Amino acid sequence: MVQSQLLALLLLILVQETKGSSKSFPKHETRHLSEHKNIARCARFSPDGKFVATGSSDTSIKLFEVAKIKQMMLPDARDGPVRPVIRTFYDHLQPINDLDFHPQNTVLISGSKDNTIKFFDFSKMTAKRAFRVIQDTHNVRSVSFHPSGDFLLAGTDHPIPHLYDINTFQCYLSANAPEIDVNGAINQVRYSATGGMYVTASKDGTIRLWDGVTANCVRSIAGAHGTAEATSANFTKDQRFVLSSGKDSTVKLWEVGTGKLVKQYLGATHTQLRCQAVFNDTEEFVLSIDEPTNEIVIWDALTAEKVAKWPSNHIGAFRWLEHSPTEAAYVTCGTDRSIRFWKESL
């Protein structure tokens, strides 16, 4: 009797100690921002965190001003309803897969199932249509601007990333691309912070690292997500690690220099949709999606311990999670067509 009580006490202390070494994720408040006419599929913040854009199966793109979102979320918003959507762009023929902002100019790009990348100038109040179009040969699943703004990458159904010169629209392919089988479509492509490298997450489960200058594939992490699709990949700010997620229900952190697995974030199930795993702005937390419960799962990035699980507040599966690069705020997109904004409660 006494012994088992002692054991229970010891266990309690142990649990508290391991819990204590993980940081706790601050409480967030959430608000429904707007609705597309069909599934909301992707979101992206501008590099300065002032804007966020969302793309839908209804082929439209909405642009939100973050300051207006915050105004809308104030408890005593007085001057009537605030509308945070400042632009809506209609120009694609098929669903939008991904978006990115030009690093310096007021230009937003979109990659679509209609095999195009379109350029929108959001400084113009009334422009609804693209001012430039890149016609690719494949379904454009992912887009990423080079930090100089002079190049962009397209991840498509073709297994090799398409590198475009923004000024000439010429497309370059890697000269030493590895043999990739027919299942190698690219789900996501992302440049590192300096543009010195880029990373791809492929349907064949492989994470590949590419040299930003020569476009050579410098490392293949085969089976990074087993035989399941790798659905997202992005670098840490210091470019030393890559965070990836896959349909094998794992989120993994890889060391760029060696290709070694450094950490795994387990306990969220994602086997159906294009799941995203992202860091919070300080890279102290990892956020991802649990499909069966429709919850946001949060881990301490260092201890890999799960520290929070929150209902997404979407009706049915939520599809995309994007964190602000500058503050404690993120956006979720749902099958229910809606966009939700989340920010730390003060």
Is residue 320 within the footprint of ligand NAG (CB under 6 A)? no
- Residues 210-232: b if buried by 16+ CB within 10 A, e if exposed: bebeebebebbbeebbeebbbbb
DSSP states along 47-105: TTSSEEEEEETTSEEEEEEHHHHHHHHSTT--SS----EEEEEE--SS-EEEEEE-SSS
Pick the binder of ligand NAG from 280, 312, 313, 338 (CB under 6 A).
280
Pick the binder of ligand NAG from 251, 328, 333, 339 (CB under 6 A).
328
Is residue 88 within the footprint of ligand NAG (CB under 6 A)? no
Is residue 26 within the footprint of ligand NAG (CB under 6 A)? yes
According to DSSP, the residues that pair with 107 across neighbouring strands are 121
**Amino acid letter for position 228:** A
Q: Quick one: 140 or 278, whose CB is closer to ligand NAG?
A: 278
Is residue 284 within the footprint of ligand NAG (CB under 6 A)? yes
Shortest distance, position 299 Cβ to ligand NAG, whole Å: 12
Is residue 255 within the footprint of ligand NAG (CB under 6 A)? no
Q: Quick one: 11 or 193, whose CB is closer to ligand NAG?
A: 193
Tokens encoding 120: 């929108």
State how far the alpha carbon of 217 is from the alpha carbons of 160, 163, 259, 324, 329, in Å.
9, 13, 13, 29, 34
Shortest distance, position 227 Cβ to ligand NAG, whole Å: 25
User: Judged by CB under 6 A, how many residues of this single chain contact ligand NAG?
Assistant: 18
Is residue 325 within the footprint of ligand NAG (CB under 6 A)? yes
Question: Could you tell me if 294 and 317 are in contact, meaning their C-beta atoms sit under 8 angstroms apart?
Answer: yes
Residue 131: strand, helix, or coil: coil
Q: Quick one: 122 or 285, whose CB is closer to ligand NAG?
A: 285
According to DSSP, the residues that pair with 77 across neighbouring strands are none
Q: Quick one: 19 or 128, whose CB is closer to ligand NAG?
A: 19
Residue numbers at the binding site for ligand NAG (CB under 6 A):
23, 25-26, 190, 193, 234-237, 278, 280-282, 284-285, 325, 328, 344
